[in-house]
Amino acid sequence: MAHALKLSRLGVFFSLVFGCASQPPCPCLDPAAASGGPGKPVELAGCDGKVAPAADGLVEDFEDENTQIVKLDGRDGYWWKNADKEGAKFTVPAAGEPFEFSVDAANASSKSLHVAGLTVKGSDQAYGVEVGANLISTKGSLYDGSRFVGFSFMGKVGPKSVKKVRVSMADVNTHPELGSCKNCWNHFNKELDLTTDWKEYQVSFKEMQQRAGWGEPRPKSISPKELYTVTFAFEGSGGEFELFVDDIQFVECKK
């Protein structure tokens, strides 16, 4: 996979309500329940209240303008991007060029990740484009994120861009490099409609779902104990895309 660039730090504050009224007080993600393993069902709890960035939860803030995510808690993966072979392409960065970091950044920081281009609408192979990072640089190595309840990021799209972004985390059950899936690539995800203004988005593990109708296995939930990548994708729509991303971080129940 085409590893490409690197990045670094900052912090945001926010709140989020994960539906789990019957769950115990924070932290209310049961680590034992989150260790389902390949193909095994996982029962995920959320927070009975708000969430906050975890102390060592920063995945990337792009401030160091390189292609490696922030090195924290064993995370040291690299950014990559790919496009389908049906005509989708990146114009930012242009072919053969390194990732671009924009001064249009979130939370009064200096840099964000900036990508743009276009997708095509066509066959099943016209999946569109993805930009993402492995959580651990060693191929096949999984990251245990079971003490978190999800993650957040700052994001916006350009004025001509398709608004819908699919935010995913590949895990042990969905990525072919891990040997568990027979019908791979249907990562647990959340679809979001971004705006042209910087805004914080929160994604809980509990609400992430696979796309309907395909994928094998189809476990009950993502396996936070066995995470592999974080990915932002535009599907093949025939439209232009332009995405700015900043301050990706794991979150925990607010104490």
Shortest Å, Cβ 112 to Ca ion:
5
16 close to 47: Cβ distance less than 8 angstroms:
yes
> Measured from the CB atom, is 61 or 73 closer to Ca ion?
61
List phi, psi (to 5°) of 199: -150, 150
CA angle 216, 3, 36 (to 5 degrees): 30
Candidate ranges 26-34, 44-52, 101-109, 164-172; the one touching Ca ion (CB under 5 A): 101-109
Closest residue to Ca ion using C-beta atoms: 109
7 close to 61: Cβ distance less than 8 angstroms:
yes
Candidate ranges 67-75, 110-118, 219-227, 232-240; the one touching Ca ion (CB under 5 A): 110-118
> Measured from the CB atom, is 44 or 245 closer to Ca ion?
245
> Measured from the CB atom, is 105 or 208 closer to Ca ion?
105
Q: Does 246 bind Ca ion (CB under 5 A)?
A: yes
- Nearest Cα residue to 252 out of 210, 207, 202, 209: 202
CA distance 160 to 156: 12
Q: Check residue 212 and report its DSSP letter.
A: T
Shortest Å, Cβ 8 to Ca ion:
8
> Measured from the CB atom, is 84 or 246 closer to Ca ion?
246
Which of 46, 59, 60, 62: binder of Ca ion (CB under 5 A)? Answer: 62
> Measured from the CB atom, is 101 or 148 closer to Ca ion?
101
Candidate ranges 13-21, 64-72, 103-111, 143-151; the one touching Ca ion (CB under 5 A): 103-111
For the purposes of burial, counting CB atoms within 10 Å of the CB of 164, is it exposed (0-12), middle (13-18) or buried (19 or more)? middle
CA distance 228 to 142: 5
Site of interaction with Ca ion (CB under 5 A): 61-62, 105, 109, 111, 246
